[in-house]
Amino acid sequence: MCPKTNSTKTMAEPALIEQETPSSSGGRGGEAGSPPLPPRETVPDWASLPHDVVVEIFGRLRHADVLGGAGLACAPWRRAAADEPTLWRRIDLGFDDGDRIDNAAGAARIAMARAAVDRSAGRCESFRGLADRHFLVHLAAGAPSLRSLHVVYAPWCLPEAFSGRVIAKLPMLERLVLEGGLFLRSTLLELLEHCPRLEVLQTGECTADRVIGSRLRLRCRRKIKVVSLPAMIKNYCFCRLCNQDRQRGNI
């Protein structure tokens, strides 16, 4: 029985060798005669893109994406994002559908807004996004040519102690849109006094701290083309900073 077993193995081994030989000699293409595999795709060197091309790319992205990701990719891209004021002439840091909106996200957006205003080098003409009282002071100081201000989501809150450091510093303001918050009558008076170019004032979604009488409303309509003033009186602010002041007993 043993010789029969050995002869079977001897006959089978060459067959296995014959089956394996083509694949082992076929090279990168597999079977003999098949075309070679294409070369590996090279990775683009994004850092070597010309400066003007990078600026053009950033101009097509959301400012939040530039500040939070693309502008941090490499040293040349960081320089383009930080040293090109034209990118930040019209700052838009509002939220889009699908964006997370909470206290942490709001604080991050305001920090981004400060950085964007600094990068504008005084050339910012339009801002849209979250804004608390401290950022408004920073914006007024860093964007003296501001023409449009649109405060989203976060309640507008500009106490009288801050108003003179904001409204009086924005003589070029032409458009002010507030999506909610407490709009002081004193702020309205300062706008009429210090913003002669104001053409659009939309504060209808806010509440007022006191009655805005018919004479003052008529004065607004004569001076401002598009006016929407608060209809509800409620001298109470729900913004984060006012809530903190109440917890500390400051107000």
Q: What angle do CA 183, 154, 166 make, to 5 degrees?
A: 55
Contact 130, 113 (CB under 8 A): yes
Q: Which two tokens stand for residue 188?
A: 């309205």
Give the rounded percent of residues in the chain with a pLDDT score beyond 70.
75
Q: How far is CA 168 from CA 114, 227, 250, in A?
A: 20, 20, 26
Q: Over the stretch 190-222, which tens digit does the pLDDT of each residue have?
A: 999 999 999 999 999 999 999 999 999 999 999
| Start-to-end CA span in the chain (Å) | 105
Instruction: Give pLDDT, residue 158.
Output: 87
Least confident of 13-27, 124-138, 149-163, 212-226: 13-27
CA torsion through residues 112, 114, 118, 122, sign: positive
Q: Over the stretch 117-147, which tens digit does the pLDDT of each residue have?
A: 999 999 999 999 999 999 999 999 999 999 9
Mean pLDDT of 69-84: 82
What's phi and psi for 23, nearest 5 deg?
-70, -30
Instruction: Give pLDDT, residue 112.
Output: 94
Mean pLDDT of 9-34: 48
Q: Is the pLDDT confidence value at 20 over 50?
A: no
Instruction: Give pLDDT, residue 70.
Output: 75
Q: What angle do CA 40, 46, 48 make, to 5 degrees?
A: 115
Instruction: Give pLDDT, residue 83.
Output: 85
Instruction: Give pLDDT, residue 246.
Output: 61
Confidence of residue 82 (pLDDT cuts 50, 70, 90): confident
Q: Is the pLDDT confidence value at 26 over 80?
A: no
Q: Report how far residue 232's alpha carbon sits from residue 250's, in angstroms, rounded to the nearest whole number.
A: 25
Mean pLDDT of 86-115: 88
Instruction: Give pLDDT, residue 157.
Output: 84
H/E element, 129: strand 126-129
Q: Please report, as a single letter, which amino acid is at residue 131.
A: A
Q: Is the pLDDT confidence value at 13 over 80?
A: no
More confident residue, 42 or 178: 178
Q: Is the pLDDT confidence value at 73 over 80?
A: no
Q: Which two tokens stand for residue 15?
A: 């067959």
